[in-house]
Amino acid sequence: MLQTLTEVKFQILELLWQHVHNVARAQGYAMSTLRSNMTHNQIEIGCDRSGTPNCNKHSSKTVTSRILECPFQLHSRKYAKSTTWTLKVKNPENRHNATENMMAHPAFRKFNGQ
C-alpha cells in the first residue's frame, strides 16, 4: 500500500504527477494513466501493473505479462469552479510487493531516457 498519498490539491497538473511519481518511486511502485477525460478534467491513475493480462487461448505462443490486476487507483479532478486539481485515493490496495530496482518499471526507464 502506498503511504502518504492522501487527498491533496495542486495548482497545476504537472505538480500532481510529480508528487504521485515521487511518492510511488520512494516506495517501490510506478504509476500510469488508466483513463483520462480532459473535457471533464478527470484522470484515473493506477499502478503500472493494473489491468487485465491479454491471453489468447487460441495461440500456441507462451505469453508473459507484468500485469497483475492490481486494484490500486487514484482519482484526480479539476472542477469547473476550482483552480486546483484534487487527488484522492480511490483504492489503496496493492496486490504485489514493492520493486527494489526501479529500472524494472518501463515508466521510470522512460523518464530516465533509457
> Per the domain annotation, does 70 fall within a domain?
yes
| Cell representation of residue 107 | 515508466
Query: Which among 29, 1, 23 is positioned nearest to 10, based on CA atoms?
Result: 23
Phi and psi based region of residue 91 (left: phi greater than 0; alpha: psi -120 to 50; beta: remaining): beta
Q: Which domain holds residue 29?
A: 8-52+63-95
Residue 82 lies in a domain: yes
Q: Counting Cβ atoms within 10 Å, is residue 72 exposed (0-12), middle (13-18) or buried (19+)?
A: buried
Structural domain includes residue 73: yes
Residue 71 forms part of a structural domain? yes
In the three-class reduction of DSSP (H, G, I as helix; E, B as strand; rest coil), residue 66 is classed as coil
0.85 exceeded by pTM: no
* Residue 104: per-residue pLDDT: 61
pLDDT tens string for the chain (114 positions)? Answer: 466 677 889 999 999 999 998 898 888 888 889 999 999 999 999 888 776 666 666 666 666 656 677 888 999 999 888 899 999 999 888 877 777 766 665 665 555 554
pLDDT at site 85: 95
| Distance, CA of 100 to CA of 93 (rounded, Å) | 19
Residue 69 is predicted with a pLDDT of 78
Is 103 among the domain residues? no
Residue 54: left if φ>0, alpha if ψ -120 to 50, beta else—which one?
Answer: beta
Number of folded domains that form the chain:
1
